[in-house]
Chains A and B, each alone.
Chain A
Amino acid sequence: MSATPDDTKDNAEEHAFRLRAREWLRTHLPPRRLQDEPMMDWADKALIARDRESQRALWEGGLAGITLPREYGGLGLDRRYADIYYEEAQPYRLPWHFGNAFNIVLPTLLAHGSEELKRRYVPAILRGEHLWCQLLSEPSGGSDLAGLTTRAELRGDHWLLNGSKVWTTGGLDCDMGICLARTDPTVPKHAGLTMFLVDMTSPGLAINPIKLISGTVDFCQEFFDDVAVPADHVLGEVGGGWAVASTQLGAEKASMARGWYEGLAAAVESDEIELKDEYGRMARSLGVHEDPRARQLIGEAFVLDAVHTLTTRRVSAGIRNGALPPTAGTLSSLLVALCDVRRSALLSGISGPAGVAAKPGEEGLQWGMTRVTRHRIGGGTTEMQRNGVAERHLGLPRDEADIADRTVPFNRRKVNPDRAQ
């Protein structure tokens, strides 16, 4: 994976930047050990602390926010410098717990934030001071995001938030949250929303960890009890929260398609298909590499991997050069989700009984476990993605109940009769 970086395309300035980055990274960042260290693990407090230090160090070393505007603390360089940086960073661990902050919050803040908010919060991310979480989903529902019920009411120079958010990745460890709440229940659901920037240490905000199937604690539920948010911490317009959320969800999808962990793969990719040795290694270790049934599943896994990479690449390049409409992005997100889920079936199929009953200390269960835990729920379920393809890309009509629900005032929409107050 970490081929020697190709520096033949560098001009003199780029080359100087490369050499400086190379030297600096060598002395300041921890080594990359992907075999025994996850990219992100909110239960691993030491790893989170290390990522914060790394981000801080990158800032001090003049390597943070390479393509971000100078007025917000960035270096204001073009994408080529970021590519050089990622090429040089191949041997090191990057501060991937800042994924939400860089992939989602930054673009949203830059698109909708007031000058003051941008000058305050963008550099704080670059300095490694703020990890961010997304406070969108609620106990009453995540797919129907615009139907959320957390309320915000203006009291003088601040808003008071009441309600609950849930499934918040990194909620316990993040410093700031980007939070969508209802500011006007008398208008249709999308029109009554506002986006807030919330300090996660605010009084009245209780954060409870939630244990996952795997036993780890990755996400949380928050309870808001009169949590005060300064009036100038509204992102975008009051009542304009849906537009902000759309930017945010778009940024999330785009970064999932691009690769969430920036710098994980070398920036320069060839378009040749590579067959991973992972499946062969796995089959050999299980002794099934000559079994015709296992070979069928392995063959299909090769197909899935290629579908995944080539379609993502085709769609993003096609949207960029105008050969495909922007809505084609929905196709690749859905296809990636379908491939992901199918791949878990193949892995557990190849491992068979060894995936569900392994000798103590021997590997096996991790493959069966993908069948239990690999779903497409976070970031929008497969059903929501299918709705997106059908309605936005294929132009099929919306469901009538859906149309009715989005046009009635929020406080007069149909609700579960058992839950209605």
Chain B
Amino acid sequence: MDINITEDQRMLQDATRRYLEARAPVTYLRQLVEAQTPMPDIAWREGAGQGWLAPFVPESLGGMAESAQGAIDAAIVAEEMGRVVYPGHYLPNSVLAFAIAQWGSQAQRETLLPALAAGEQRGAWCFAAPGVDSGTAPDGVRLERSGGQITLRGVAANVQSAPDADLLLVTATDGEGVTQLLLPAATAGIEVRALDTLDLGRRLADVEFRDVSVTADAVLGAHGAAADCFEQQLQLALVLHCAETVGVIDRALEFTLDYVQQRYAFGRPIGSFQALKHRLADHAAQHEGGKALVARAAKAVQEQAADAAVAVSIAKSHCGRWATEIIRDCLHMHGGIGMTWEHDIQFYLRRAVSNEALWGSPAVHHERLCRLAGL
């Protein structure tokens, strides 16, 4: 969270926190997991009804894009979601709403934005090939054009919310460059293969395109001209992803600090042992670093500043790495109880470890930074 948020943003933060604590606390995630059911559609609709996507949707279509600061406002919401390990579909739907609002035709905007914003349609974004380097390049899907027909082939890996999506945004490449398309998930030739996920609050899938044939009106923006659009979407996704990670750390550190002051050993609170104090001090410092980086990344992306690409990769490396380190250690400080199914910290750690690996691991972003530095 930036230290310079506006009064409106403070209200957005408070309202989001209150809503999530009332309607989707981490016990809600536990219920879903134990009942082995995904989050019901109606629950996502209720959340979306809070106006979560409004910062991306123009006023003429019921949103508030003109008066909002899209990436910054959305980062505030995402951070709150991290605090409760929210199982909803915020990130992909934000990216879709942003992309359609920015580059969509009048018809695409009018038919899709209100439905996404209301949570009636749910989106997912397909772009990355599988593999260790996955997550920051549109290398999963190839495209072939002949006449007015377009054929898609390939696999987009680890697509967030794909098992629940009605609408897919696909970023594909051909000799002409990068092209984006919008198509129903139910289009013939698309197979959504749900994956087993470490993060129990998130559903991912590999999406295979087997000679999927669509017409040119599925294209979002201009054919072959979406490289920059892709980068802007990626930046937004990374801001939300990192903001969520900051929220995950924030809450885990909070309850760990409580715990070490209540738990006694050798006649004193375990939080008075220097071995724990020093590690918690390091964690608090690294966490503050993460907040500073995410605040800068959100602002840079919102303003399309020259350092936006750099800022998101820096934030992703730092937050990814330290979320895992910090929350693993928080679990450790709980002793045996931390290892139990019954304790909520597992949900935090599962999300942290997943967030480190997805959307480009720290290693992937270090390499990206070298390239951005001209090395």
Q: Which residues in A have some Cβ–Cβ distance to B below 8 Å?
A: 271-275, 277, 279-280, 283, 289, 292, 295-296, 298-300, 302-303, 306-307, 310-311, 313-315, 317-318, 321, 323-324, 328, 331-332, 334-335, 338, 383, 385-391, 393-394, 396-400
Contacts and interface: CB of A to CB of B under 8 A. Distances in A.
Q: Could you say which interface size class chain B belongs to?
A: 35 or more
B36 interface: no
A321 B6 CA distance: 13
Given A338-B282, A397-B261, A399-B274, A311 B288 contact: yes
A387 B277 CA distance: 7
B292 A390 contact: no
Nearest to A274: B307
A314 B3 contact: yes
A275 B274 contact: no
B135 to A, nearest CB: 15
A332 B288 contact: yes
B363 interface: yes
B369 to A, nearest CB: 4
Contact of B314 (A306, A315, A323): A306
A403 to B, nearest CB: 10
Contacts of A387: 274, 277-278, 281
14 contacts: A273-B300, A280-B373, A292-B367, A295-B367, A295-B375, A298-B375, A302-B369, A313-B292, A317-B4, A324-B3, A328-B288, A331-B288, A386-B277, A399-B272
A80 B228 CA distance: 41
Contacts of B277: 386-387, 390-391, 394, 396
B9 interface: no
Contacts of A302: 310, 314, 366, 369, 373
Interface in B230-258: 257
A391 B370 CA distance: 39
A296 B318 CA distance: 13
B14 to A, nearest CB: 15
A310 B367 contact: no
A275 B373 contact: yes
A303 B314 contact: yes
B53 to A, nearest CB: 27
Given A280-B373, A323-B3, A271 B285 contact: no
Contacts of A283: 375
Contact of B272 (A300, A324, A398): A398
A307 B282 contact: no
A45 to B, nearest CB: 39
B366 A394 contact: no
Nearest to A273: B307
Nearest to B310: A273
A299 B370 contact: yes
Contact of B369 (A292, A303, A400): A303
Interface in B16-46: none
B286 interface: yes
B181 interface: no
B268 interface: yes
B307 A295 contact: no
B285 A299 contact: no
Contacts of A275: 310, 369, 372-373
A327 to B, nearest CB: 11
Given A331-B285, A387-B277, A396-B280, A311 B369 contact: no
B300 A272 contact: yes
Contacts of A338: 282, 285-286
Q: Max chain A CB contacts within 10 Å: which of B281, B305, B362?
A: B281
B284 interface: yes
B85 to A, nearest CB: 23
A299 B300 contact: no
Contacts of A398: 272
Contact of B286 (A277, A335, A393): A335
B265 interface: no
Given A389-B281, A400-B272, A299 B3 contact: no
B314 A271 contact: no
B289 A394 contact: no
Contact of B317 (A279, A295, A303): A303
Interface in B286-301: 286, 288-289, 291-293, 295-296, 299-300
Nearest to A400: B268
Nearest to A320: B3
A335 B285 CA distance: 5
